[in-house]
Chain A
Amino acid sequence: MEASTVLRLKGLTKRFGPILANDDITIELQKGEVLALLGENGAGKTTLMNMLFGHYLPDSGNIEIKRTDDNLVPLELGDPSAALAAGIGMVHQHFTLAENITAFENITLGAESLFSLRRNQKKAQTKIKSIMSHSGLDAPLDIPVGKLSVGERQRVEILKALYRDAHILVLDEPTAVLTPQEADSLFSNLRRMTNQGLSVIFITHKMREVLSFSDRLVVLRDGKNVGSMKTSDASEKKIARLMVGSETQKVSSKRIKPGGPILSLNEISVAGQSKRDSLHEVNLILNSNEILGIAGISGNGQNVLADLISGLVAPDRGSIVLKGVAIENISPFNMIKSGFGRIPEDRHRQGIVGGLSVSENMIIERLDDPQIQNFGFLRSSVINKNAKTLSEKYDVRGPGIDQASRLLSGGNIQKLILARVFEKQPEIILANQPTRGLDMGAASEVQKHLIEARDRGGGVILISEDLDEILGLADRIVVMRDGKLHDAISNSREDIGLMMAGDST
């Protein structure tokens, strides 16, 4: 049977000031197809999808869509409600959920008239229940979204799109915050739905997902469509070449012999507000020349552990011992002083001050450094020179070092943080989800730096939900579950996956 075209993006172009984010992009989508949209950070994938959904208005080009059996008709541009009415559902890269209302309310929001006197909850409940059982996606419906875990939120996002009877589903990096198992089940559910006629466009940076779940792929580079191929004809190498225009090799870590312990957490307990942010008698030893991988499903206490090592929370019980000396005053400042370098999880919110310039963000952790300041005044020439050097060395690309850092793309923000952290040559590095949402090139750059730091004699604590990354990089693996740490019984994918899920004993 000849597949029929359900969507055609024709010559879409979008400019943001000087940046040509999308340059004359044409893409077609067939019925029942899973199309992977690939490209480096900043290649323009999200922009393209935002035009499809009506968030952005294209500078030129148009979109045609098939509703039922008739011909393709043009879609009203720049209006999400038109896109929704046309059967397009979108799962955004950044959550679009109101945290003060429940998942149920988020899903039904806008589906009924705003001016009906009562909400018709029964019918909606039934519909959501049936979507849940069809798709295999599950999330608690009746508690405020603010209390849900990241994975749950991601599923709510997808449910939201399906609830509006989408026949074209756009997923922008849906698996960035899911465990491998969650991702697998998401894709097998999607496959089931495409068999019933749903068409899917999904954006991801994970090759495994592209190769095993998509039918076809399109690669964007610098805002242009640089190639499209059947997945069956594709290989990781081919894709990478298209994406970056040259070949990159996967980082692999040569094991070296670890040194003596440099950091130990002894019987640390933190009583957080909920189970998700508590620690129970955690013991951990980090050696020099070692990458310690902490695997686990998000929401099991990784963030408190990260906050603890960042100095943001103090332990209720237990001690942090650095090279035999207990750290007295636990604060972010003292942790930096003691030689910690931290790559925070949420780079936009915790990593950079978006309103400050790139060069200012590069020195924000060393404000008391006499090289940076003179009698309390900043030495701007030094700061600028520093920024220039680091930008080159770490390949931070953006509109300029004196521009607000929020203008950088995600990958470049991460490079900025790397530059700031590694330049100090810290003895202990905490890397919390350091490659989440990064493209291959940027991710391998980060990984290379982590390995370099280890080889130089540092200790690295790598917290990641990407099991492949941990398996590839870590010298030793522990699994975090319910606020406790467990030594991995083996380095096999299956065993660790099971421990993460809680079936180890």
Chain B
Amino acid sequence: MIRIEPREKISNSSTVLIPIIAAVVSLLFAAIPLLAAGANPFVAYVEMAKGVFGSVFAISEMLTRATPLIYTGLAAAIAFRAKLWNIGAEGQLYLGAIAAVTVGSGFFDLPAVLLLPLIIVLGGCAGAAGMAAPTYLKVRFGADEVVTTLLLNFIIIIFLQMLLEGPLQDPMGLGWPQSAPILDQGMFPPLIDRMRIHSGLILAVLLAVIAHFMIKYSVWGFKLRAVGENSAAAKHAGININRSLFGVALLSGGLAGLAGVSEVAGLKGYLTADLSPGFGYAGIVVAMLAGLSPLGVLIASVFIASVFVGADSMSRAMGISSFLADLVVSVSLLCVLVGGFISKFKIVRAGTGKRFK
């Protein structure tokens, strides 16, 4: 018989080593589909590395993919800290994007110094509103937010399709369900010429650092942690739970909204209903991998983005089905999850004795 017990002390070397080992193991697992598809795994690993780190372009692409994950990862991390299960980052992302194109595509013809901040603020507000509604339903009616936020994702995306065929449709778009483009001065300035990486990344990193300090050192963060750990005791101690929850909800929704702003005003320029390939859901994974730590979110986003971009590019180089990319991402996700477990727990063998009956 075996037993699982927490490790007395988590050694420094294991916190570094175990994720690395997990990554290696996940690569070994990835060899199975590679072999099944008749490819040489070693060549594949080299191609994968090249796909992420092989050039400035590759690195920039990886960071571009990581950018929205940072926002949605932060959104989930903050909400989950307060045990507010926001599964609706996907929908909130679209709300942010909707706000961004609504104000950014010519409604206000402002100079860049005004327009971009306006887009950011309104996009954040839209996302925040998207989380405020389910939080209200939770607080007022006790409606479970996992369900409401999940269902809202579908509703918002369908609503978006309606807008894109109606008021938001680009009159110059030849009937395509897409919005008019955001004005040039409303776009996040690019970071490198001729590459997609944009300053939305800077904002994301900045927000992660701010979130880290707020959670750790501010009264607001203290309350958030107290509510999340034990809301009954927090209430007893005079903390206004509802106010805390709403604060967290607005922030979480706002961050998810910014993911939409960053994608639409940083990358694509206009809005379509397929803006996000599931960034909202991936954000949950990122947040949990990061142990709900804002700084951890930065690392986890880069990790997920690297694996995806690397595996995707490798599948192309090797002529294997590009569904391989998601497969490798999911396998490494599960491996890292188990790795995190191994660094915190140990498995011990139990003694034996006589059994009655």
Contact = CB atoms under 8 A, between A and B. Distances in A.
A and B touch in the complex (CB under 8 A): yes
A354 interface: yes
A110 interface: no
A349 interface: yes
Interface in A334-374: 335-337, 342, 344, 349-356, 360, 364-365, 367-368, 373
A360 B230 CA distance: 13
A85 B350 CA distance: 19
Contact of A78 (B223, B238, B350): B350
Contact of A332 (B1, B3, B6, B237): B237
Contacts of B1: 78-79
A367 B354 contact: no
Given A352-B233, A354-B230, A82 B219 contact: no
Contacts of B223: 367
Chain A interface size band reads 35 or more
Contacts of B176: none
Nearest to B357: A85
A337 B238 CA distance: 9
B218 A355 contact: no
Contact of A310 (B8, B226, B236, B353): B236
B229 A353 contact: yes
Residue among B222, B223, B226 having the largest count of chain A Cβ atoms under 10 Å: B222
Nearest to A57: B350
B233 A62 contact: no
Interface in A63-80: 63, 67, 73-79
A18 interface: yes
A82 B356 contact: yes
Contacts, number: 114
B352 interface: yes
Interface string B208-249: 000000000111101101101110111111111000000000
A373 B219 contact: yes
Given A352-B233, A378-B217, A62 B353 contact: yes
Contacts of A353: 225-226, 229-230, 233-234, 237
Interface residues of B, number: 33
B36 to A, nearest CB: 39
B140 interface: no
Residue among A62, A331, A335, A367 having the largest count of chain B Cβ atoms under 10 Å: A367
Interface in A458-480: none
A356 B229 contact: yes
A57 B1 CA distance: 11
B194 interface: no
B240 A333 contact: yes
Contacts of B277: none
A332 B354 contact: no
Residue among B1, B222, B236, B240 having the largest count of chain A Cβ atoms under 10 Å: B236
B236 A344 contact: yes
A86 interface: yes
Contact of B219 (A77, A331, A377): A377
Contacts of B229: 353-356
Contacts of A355: 225, 228-230
B351 interface: yes
A324 interface: no
A77 B351 contact: yes
Interface of B: 1, 3, 6, 8, 217-220, 222-223, 225-226, 228-230, 232-240, 348, 350-357
29 contacts: A62-B353, A73-B354, A74-B354, A76-B353, A77-B351, A78-B350, A78-B351, A79-B355, A82-B356, A85-B357, A312-B236, A332-B235, A332-B237, A332-B238, A335-B238, A350-B236, A352-B230, A353-B233, A353-B234, A354-B230, A354-B233, A355-B229, A356-B226, A364-B226, A364-B234, A365-B237, A367-B239, A376-B218, A377-B219
Interface of A: 17-18, 57-58, 62-63, 67, 73-79, 82, 85-86, 310-312, 331-333, 335-337, 342, 344, 349-356, 360, 364-365, 367-368, 373, 376-378, 380
Given A332-B236, A376-B220, 11 more contacts: A17-B8, A57-B3, A62-B353, A78-B350, A85-B357, A335-B238, A353-B230, A353-B234, A353-B237, A364-B234, A377-B218
